[in-house]
Amino acid sequence: MTRPGVRIGIDIGGTFTDLQIFDERSGTLNACKTLTTPDDLSAGLLAGIAEAGGRFGFAAGDVRLLLHGTTIATNAVLEGRFPRAALLTTEGFRDVLEIGRHVRRDLYGLRPPLRPELIARDRRIGVAERVRADGSVATPLTEAAMAAAIAALRATGPETVAVALLNAHVNDAHERALRDAIARACPGLPVSLSSEISPEIREYERTATTALNALLMPVVQAYLHRLTARLAAAGIAAPVLLVQSNGGVCSPAVAAAQPVRLLLSGPSGGAAAARLTASRLGRPDLVGVDMGGTSFDVCVVRGAALAQIAEGEISGIPVRLPMIEMRTIGAGGGSIAAAGPGGLLTVGPASAGARPGPACYGRGGQEATVTDANLMLGRLDAASFLRGSMTLDLAAARAAIAARVAVPLGLSVEAAAEGVVALTETALAGAIRLSLFEKGLDPVDFALLAFGGAGGLHAIAVAAELGMREVIFPASASTFSARGILESDIVHDLAASRVLRAEAANLPHLHRTAASLRADGEALLAADGVPPERRSFAPAADMRYVGQVFEIVVPWPEGDDMAALCARFHALHRQRFSYADPDAPVEIVTQRLAATGCLDRVDAPPAAPPAGAAAFCTRHVFLAGEWTLAAVHRRETLTGDVAGPAVIEEEYTTLLIPAGWVCTPVRDGHLSARRAAA
Amino acid sequence: MSAIGDPVALEILRHALTAAAAEMDVTIWRTSRSTIVRELLDYSTAVFDRDGGNVAQSARIPQHLNAMGAGLRTVIERFLPLDGWADGDVVITNDPYCGGQHIPDILAFRPVFVQGTRVAVVGTCCHHLDMGGIAAGSYAANATEIFQEGLRIPPVRLVRAGTINAEVLAIMRQNVRRPDMLWGDLQAQLASLAVGAAAVERIAAKHGTATLIAACTALLDASERAMRAMIGELPDGEYGFEDFIDDDGLGTGPIRIHAVIAIHGDTMTVDLSGCAPQVLGPINATRASAASAVAYAVLACATTPIPANAGCERPIRLIAPEGTVVSARHPAPVANRMVVSHRLATTLLGALAQAAPERIPAAYYGTSYVCSFQTIADRGRGVLVEIEVGGGGGHPAADGTNAWSCGMHNNANIPVEMVESELPLTVTRYELRPDSAGAGRQRGGLGLVREWRVECAEAVFTANLERFRTRPYGLAGGSAAAVGRLTLVRDGQETALASKTGNLRLRRGDLIRLETSGGGGFGDPAAREAAAHARDLALGYVTA
C-alpha cells in the first residue's frame, strides 16, 4: 500500500475547472475552482493544483493520485477539429458511414440538415474480403487484396486509420491482419479496429464509433503528452486516471488507445456523485438533476446504482459503448422565452448562453430568459449574484420580459415572468417523468437531488409537480461533479456480440465467451495494478424476444443457468414494458462484462457548521401570484431548519424554499427539503 | 390553474398532453416485436379531445400526420358512435374504407374516463409485419381489389371493458403469416394505450377535468390561428403544379397528379380535381392518405413549427373527388398508397414553391422503396421488409442530402448484419449511387445501391417502387435526377425488373440490385461554384 497522500478529483468545464481535494493524512476534504484555460486545458488544471496546494497545505510531492474528467474529446467533435483520417471497410460498403440510418429528427424541415462528415468518401477504402454473420469466411482476405488496400490507404496520406469490416464483431481475423499490414507499411500510424473499439452487431453504429475513435486518437494523445510534461515539470509524480462515459476511470494507456470512451463523460462526474450521495444519505432511490445555463441533465439512481445504456450519441453520431443513462433537454437559466405562433408561450430550447447571456447580464442580450424571469420575480438578487461579483440589471430583465413575452401575449410582466418559470418547470418535470417512466418507475418513490447553478431555484417546484417528497441540495453543489470523480473506480467494459437463441444448447459457446471476457478483464485490471481482492466482475447479456431489435441488458451472474437468465429477462421486460411473453423465443445478442477495480473511498468526517447566528435578511419574492416577504439566508452559516417562503444563497447558486416546505441540514453538509408537517 | 384563456396555462397543458403522446410512443418503440415497427419506426401515437379531435400526436412519419384523426372521425361517425364506448374498451380497425390508409396499419383507440366522464381518447397506429393476403407483408403489387390485400378488420372492440375479445383475436391470428408478431405488436399497442390513459388521468387529476376539456378546445384554436397566420403571409394567388406517377404496375400510366393551391387571405383551397381516376393496381390512396400529404406539405412550408393537431386543418379546404387516385372508392386496392402520397407531396411542394420560392427544395426521390423477401429454407420461413430511400432535393441554400429519409416517410434502414443474422440472405453491396442526383447551383443528394443475394433454396421477392420513368424534378433551372432501377442477376445474366414486381420466385445465388433516385437540382448548374463541383468529382459523387 502506498503511503498516505493527497487525492484530487478534477472536473474541467467550459468556464471553470473544479477541484475536490482529499488529504488522506488529515482526513480533510476541500474544494476550489479556477478558470478553465481553453487553449490548453492542462494549464488550468496545473494552476488549480498549485492554488489548492497553497490554500490547503500540500506540496507537489504529496499528490498520490489525480482523477481527471475532461471534455477534450467532446470539444473536438463538437467543433469538428479532426485530423486526416482514412477508413478501411468491406468492399461494397464504404458508404455505410455516410448513409447512416436515414432517420431525420425534424419531421417537417425542408432544409437539408448539417451532418458531420467524419471521413470523406475519397478516404474510405473498400477491401476485398467478407465474413458471414456466423463468423465463417465467404471471401478470404488475400495478400493481394491487403496490398491493394494498403496502397490506396497510403495514397490518402492519413494521420489515423479506422478499420471496420462487416461481421468483424463475430470474427476479427481480417481486421487484425489489416492492422498488422498497416503496422508494417506505415509504422506508428494509429489504427482503430471496430472489433476492439465496439465489438457489437450493427455495422453503422460500430463503424461510426470506430471512426470517432480514430479521429480522437491524435487529439487525446497530444493532450496526454502535454499533461504528462506539465505534471513532470511541476514535480507531480502521481498516476493520472481519466473519467469515461461509463462513470468509471481508465489509465492514460487505455484513454490513448480508446479515446472514444471519454467522449460523453461530461455529466459522468455529477452522476457518480449523485450515486455516492444516494448511498451515504440512505436515499437509494433518487433522481439527480444538473441544471446550468443551457441544459438540464437527468440521471436516475436506483438501489444506489446508476442505470447504463449501451449507446449514446454526439452531433447525431452514435457512440456504441456503455455509458451512464442521462436525459438532457435544452432548458437552463439562459433558455429564451418568446411568444410563439398562435399566441402561445415558448421557452427554449434556444439559449442565450454565457454571451450575450440573459438580458440582465448587461452584455447586450435582448432576449428574455429564465434567469431574467427569476430576477424579475425577486427569486434572484441583483446585488448578490455570484456573491456580488457580478451585478444584474433588473430593468433590462423587466424590459426584455415585457417586450418579448408580456406585451405580445397580453399579460402583466409578473404574470409573464411567472409563466416563463412555470413552463420551464413543466418541461423539467416532463423530462424527469419520462426518464423514470421508460423504466416503469414512479417519481413518488424518489427523492430529487439538485445541483448546478440554476437547479436550486426550480427543484422544489418540480418535485412538487411530480409528487416527490424530498429534495436534497448537496454540499459544494458547484463542484459536485469533481466530488463524484474523486471516488471513481477503474471500469473496463467488455463485450462480445453474436445473435444466439437463449437455449441450453448454446451454453457451451456462451460460457466460452464469458470465460474469455473474464480473462480479458483480469488481464486489464492486472495491467492497471489492481490487486485481485479489489477486482469485481459484473457479467450481463443483452437479450430480446426474437424479432425485437432493441435489447435489455440482463445481469447474468456466474453460475446462473439459462432458465434463471431467461426468468430474469422476462421479469425485467415485464417491469419495463408492462408485458412479458414467457412462451416466446428469446435470443442473446451481446454478452458483456464490466470489470471494476475498486479504488479508495473518501472518509472525511462531516465538517462542523461555523458557530454564530445565521446571517439573515428579507426580501420580496413573487410567489404563487403575489409578492411575498421571504427570509434570505446564507448557506454557509445555516445551522437549523428554514421554513419557506425563504431563499438560501450560496456562492454560485440560489435555493428557493416555497411556503409549505422546510429545509434542514443533514449529514456531510447536505440540505434536505421536505413538505412541512400539516 | 388559472383560466384557460391564459396562454401560459394552455401551453403547460399542451406540454403535458404532448408528453402523454411521447410516453405512449416510447412504449411502442421499446416493446414492439417486429422489425418493421421499431427499426422502420412505422407507427405513431396521439391524444384526442373527448369528441375525437386530434390534440397532440407523436408522429414518427408524416404519412401518419393527422391520419389517426381522420380514422377516428370515420369510425365514430359511421360505425361506432363515441357515446357507446365504455371505460376499458379498445376499438381497432385496419380497413382503409373505414378511415384507415392501408391494411397493414392497425389503428387502436381507447377512451379515457375520469369519474364517469369521457375526457379524452388515446390512439395508436402501427404498421404490422403481415396481415395476410396474397403477398408477404400484405404488399401485393398485382392486387386489383382490396379483398386480395389481406384481412380487413372493420371497427370492432378488441378489448371490451378490459377483457380481450379472444374470438376477434383468433380470427386475426388465423389469417396472417406471423401470428406471433401480430400479437406481439398488438400487445405493444395495448400497453401504449394503457400508458396514455394513465397519463391523461394524471393530467385531469392535477388540472381538473373541465380545464382539460377546455384546454383541448383552446389548443385546436391556437394551432388554427398559427396556421392562418402562416397562410396569410403567403401571397394571394392560384398556384398549379403537376407531376406524374410511372404506372400502377398493371399497365396504366403515366398517372397524373395535379394540384391547384389557391391562397386567399388566411385560407387555402387545395383542389385535386385534376388528378387521374383511380386505377386497377394497388397504388390508390384513400382520402385520409391524401389529407396527410396535404397536411405535411403545408406544415413543411411553415417557417416556425406549428403544433400539429386538428386545428391546423380548419383553414384548409380539400377538394378530392371520389373515384380519383387521391380519393379511391371501394374496393380499389390501396396497399401501396405511398406512391400517390409521395407524388402528391412533391406536387404540392412544387405548387407552394411558386408562393415561397426561398424555402422549397427541388423534388426528393419521391417514393418508399419497399422490397420484401420471403425466404423458404429447411429451418423455416422468414420475412424481411425493407424500405429504402434516395437523395434529397437541392435547396435554395444547400445541396440536397445523400441517402436520407425525406417527405412523407421517415424510415430507418435495417442493419446489414441484422439482416444476415436473421435470414438466409447476404447483402453484397450498400453504397451511394454516383450521378444519380440532378445538377444545379445546389445539386440534389445522391440515391443509393443495395444488393441482396439469396442463400437458401427458394425465396419470393416483391417490390413496390416508383420513379423508374418520371424523374424527380429540378427547380429554378436545376436538372431532374436519375430514375431508379431494379435488376435481377441470375447466372451472370442481368434482367431489368419492373418497378412493381410481385411474387418473383428466386433461387439460391440470385441477386437483386436496387438503385434509387437522387434528388432534383436547384438553380442553374452552370452557376455552381467550381470548388463544389471539383469536390463532387474528387469524392466520386459525379463522374463528369
Query: CA of A418: which chain B residue's CA is closest?
Result: B8
| Same-domain check for residues A508 and A581 | yes
Chain A residues touching residue B55 (CB < 8 angstroms): none
Q: Nearest 5°: phi and psi at A313? A: -155, 155
> Is the CB of residue B425 less than 8 Å from the CB of residue B407?
no
Q: Is A580 in the same domain as A502?
A: yes
Residue A400 lies in a domain: no
Task: State in Å, rounded, how far the first CA of chain A is from the last one.
Answer: 54
> According to the model, what pLDDT value does residue A635 have?
86
Cβ within 8 Å, pair B418-A104:
no
- Residues A93, B416: C-beta atoms closer than 8 Å: yes
Residues in chain A within 8 Å Cβ distance of B12: 422-423, 426
Please indicate, yes or no, if residue A43 is contained in any of the structural domains.
no
Residue A612 pLDDT greater than 60, yes or no? no
Say how many domains are in chain A.
Answer: 2
| Domain endpoint, select from A597, A629, A655 | A597
Does A216 reside within a domain?
A: no
Nearest by CB: A202 against B35, B226, B415:
B415
Say what the pLDDT of residue B35 is.
60
In CATH, what number is assigned to the domain containing residue A519? 3.30.1490
The pLDDT value recorded for residue B3 is: 42
What is the predicted pLDDT for the residue at A610? 53
Contact between residue B352 and residue B261 where contact means Cβ atoms under 8 Å apart: yes
| Nearest residue in B to A498, CA atom | B421
pLDDT, averaged across chain A? 90
On the question of a cis peptide bond just before residue A158, with omega within 30 degrees of 0, the verdict is no
Pairs across A and B, CB distance < 8 A: 223
Any domain includes A454: no
With CB atoms and an 8 Å threshold, state whether A426 touches B16.
yes
Taking the C-alpha atoms of residue B215 and residue B218, their distance in angstroms, rounded to an integer, is 5
The shortest C-alpha distance from A510 to chain B (Å) reads 17
Domain boundary among the residues A567, A597, A627 is at: A597
- Residues from chain A that touch B398, judged by Cβ atoms under 8 A, are 111-112
> How far is the C-alpha of B43 from the C-alpha of A42, rounded, in Å?
49
Does the pLDDT at position A613 exceed 50? no
Q: CA-to-CA distance for B104 and A112, rounded, in angstroms?
A: 31
Whether B298 contacts B62, CB under 8 Å: no
Angstrom CA distances, A614 to A28, A652, B177, stand at 24, 19, 74
Q: B interface mutation test: which of A110, A206, A465 has the most B CBs within 10 A?
A: A110
Closest to A620 measured CA to CA, from A610, A638, A632, A635: A632
Among A92, A108, A167, select the one facing B300 at the smallest CB separation: A108
Residues A556 and A626 grouped into a single domain: no
In which element (H, E) is residue B479 found? none
Task: Examine the domain organization and report whether A518 and A576 are in the same domain.
Answer: yes
H or E stretch covering A52: helix A41-56
| Cβ–Cβ gap B7/A411 under 8 Å | yes
Q: Decide if A533 is inside a domain.
A: yes
Would you say residue A662 lies in a domain? yes
Q: Which of B18, B32, B420, B451 to mutate to test the interface with A (most CBs of A within 10 A)?
A: B420
Helix (H/G/I), strand (E/B), else coil: A369: strand
Q: Which residues of A touch B301 (CB under 8 A)?
A: 110
- Secondary structure (3-state) at A250: strand
C-alpha cell at A651: 456562492
Please report the pLDDT score of residue A607 as a whole number. Answer: 60
Contacts A132 to B, Cβ<8 Å: 420, 426
Find, among B313, B444, B427, the residue nearest to B366 by Cα. Answer: B444
Claim to verify: residue A581 and residue A620 sit in the same structural domain: no
Contacts of B469 (CB under 8 A, 6+ apart): B246, B247, B253, B254, B483
- Does A99 contact B540 at a Cβ distance shorter than 8 Å? no
> Which residues touch A373 (CB under 8 Å, ≥6 apart)?
A337, A397, A401, A416, A417, A418, A420, A421
Which chain A residues have a beta carbon less than 8 Å from that of B224? Answer: 342
Based on the domain organization, do A577 and A633 belong to the same domain? Answer: no
Asked if A95 lies within 8 A of B403 by C-beta distance, the reply is yes
A638 shares a domain with A582: no
Range of the domain at A620: 616-675
**Which strand (E) or helix (H) includes residue B501?**
strand B500-507
Min mean pLDDT across A16-25, A613-622, B287-296 is at A613-622
How far is A462 from A661, CA to CA, in rounded Å? 13
Picking from A562, A597, A632, the residue at the C-terminal end of a domain is A597
Q: In the prediction, which pLDDT does B307 show? A: 82
Query: What average pLDDT score do residues A388-411 get?
Result: 90
Q: What is the DSSP letter of A343?
A: G
Residue B398 is nearest to which of A111, A434, A578, comparing CB atoms?
Answer: A111
**Best residue of B10, B11, B432 to probe chain A, by most A CBs closer than 10 Å:** B11
- 8 Å CB contact between B93 and B100: yes
* Side-chain-side CA neighbours of residue A555 (13 Å): 7
Q: Tell me whether residue A31 is in a domain.
A: no
Distance CA B450, CA B459 (A): 17
Q: How far is CA B281 from the centre of its chain?
A: 19
- Residues in chain A within 8 Å Cβ distance of B370: none
Distance from CA of A352 to the nearest CA of B (A): 19
Pairwise CB contact (< 8 Å): A108 & B195:
no
Which pTM does this prediction carry? 0.90
Q: Report whether B412 contacts B39 (CB < 8 A).
A: yes
Contact list in B for residue A419 (CB cut-off 8 A) is 6-8, 11
User: What's the gap in Å between the CA of A470 and the closest CA on chain B?
Assistant: 20
Contact at 8 Å (CB) between A282 and A472? Answer: no
Beta strands (DSSP E) in A502-625 are 535-545, 552-555, 586-597, 616-623
Helix (H) or strand (E) holding B36: helix B35-39
Query: In the prediction, which pLDDT does B2 show?
Result: 39
| Residues of B with Cβ-Cβ distance to A205 under 8 angstroms | 415
What are the φ/ψ torsions at residue A210 (nearest 5 degrees)?
-70, -40
Considering only the beta carbons, identify the residue of A102, A202, A346 that sits closest to B389.
A102
Q: Is there a contact between B448 and A113 if contact means CB atoms under 8 Å apart?
A: no
pLDDT at A609 over 60: no
**CA distance, residue A117 to nearest chain B CA (Å):** 12
Contacts of B181 in chain A (CB under 8 A): 547
The burial of A488, by beta-carbon neighbours within 10 Å (0-12 exposed, 13-18 middle, 19 or more buried), is given as buried
Contact A376, A416 (CB under 8 A): no
User: Quick one: cell of B354?
Assistant: 411558386
Tell me what pLDDT residue B303 has. Answer: 84
Q: Dihedral (C-alpha) A172, A175, A181, A187: value to the nearest 10 degrees?
A: -110
Are B8 and A415 within 8 A, CB to CB? Answer: yes
> What's the Cα-to-Cα distance from A229 to each of A45, A67, A430, B166, rounded to whole Å?
13, 17, 47, 73
Those residues whose C-beta lies under 8 Å from the C-beta of residue A164, and which sit 6 or more positions away, are A87, A88, A89, A175, A193, A194, A203, A206, A207, A210, A211
Nearest to A103 among B410, B422, B428 (CB): B410
Strand partners, A642: A663
CA distance B67 to chain A (A): 15
Q: Do the Cβ atoms of B361 and B475 come closer than 8 Å? A: yes
Q: Do A423 and B8 count as a contact with CB atoms less than 8 A apart?
A: yes
pLDDT at A2: 64
- What DSSP designation does B391 have? P
Residues of A in Cβ contact (< 8 Å) with B361: 110-112
Beta strands in B205-302, from DSSP E residues, in sequence order: 237-245, 255-264, 267-271
Q: Do A112 and B398 touch (CB under 8 A)?
A: yes
Same domain, A549 and A593: yes
A647 inside domain: yes
Contact check, Cβ <8 Å, B403/A99 = yes
Contact B412 A103 (CB under 8 A): yes
DSSP secondary structure of B8-31: HHHHHHHHHHHHHHHHHHHHHHHH
pLDDT (tens, 9 = 90+) of chain B, 544 residues, equals: 334 457 777 888 888 888 888 889 888 887 777 666 666 678 889 999 999 999 988 877 788 877 888 899 999 999 999 999 999 999 999 999 998 889 999 999 999 999 999 999 999 999 998 999 988 788 777 899 999 999 999 999 999 999 999 999 999 999 999 898 899 899 999 999 998 999 999 889 888 999 899 889 988 998 999 999 999 999 999 999 999 999 998 899 899 999 999 999 999 999 999 999 999 999 999 999 999 999 999 999 988 888 889 999 999 999 999 999 999 999 999 998 999 999 999 999 999 999 999 999 999 999 999 898 999 887 778 888 889 999 999 999 999 999 999 999 888 899 999 999 989 999 999 999 999 999 999 999 999 999 999 999 999 998 889 999 999 999 999 999 999 999 999 999 999 999 988 889 999 999 999 999 999 999 999 999 999 999 999 999 999 8
Put simply, the answer to whether A203 touches B223 (Cβ < 8 Å) is no
Q: Is the pLDDT of residue A351 over 90?
A: no
Of all residues in chain B, the one with the smallest CA distance to A341 is B226
d(CA A254, CA A261): 9
A579 and A541, same domain (yes or no): yes
Q: Which residue of B has its CA nearest to A114?
A: B401
Judge if A593 and A623 occupy the same domain: no
State whether A108 and B302 contact (CB < 8 Å).
Answer: yes
For residue A605, pLDDT over 80 is answered with no
- Alpha carbon A586 to chain centroid distance? 31
Query: In chain A, which residues have their Cβ closer than 8 Å to the Cβ of B413?
Result: 99, 101-102
Say if CB A379 and CB A457 are below 8 A apart.
Answer: yes
CA distance B537 to chain A (A): 10
Is A467 a residue whose pLDDT tops 70?
yes
A547: chain B residues, CB-CB within 8 Å: 33-35, 180-181, 184
Count of other CB atoms within 10 angstroms of residue B510: 19
Residues A498 and A583 both lie in one domain: yes
Residues A583 and A622 in one domain: no
The answer to whether B455 touches B536, Cβ cutoff 8 Å, is no
**What span, in angstroms and rounded, lies between the C-alpha atoms of B410 and B299?**
15
Whether A133 and B429 lie within 8 Å, measured CB to CB: no
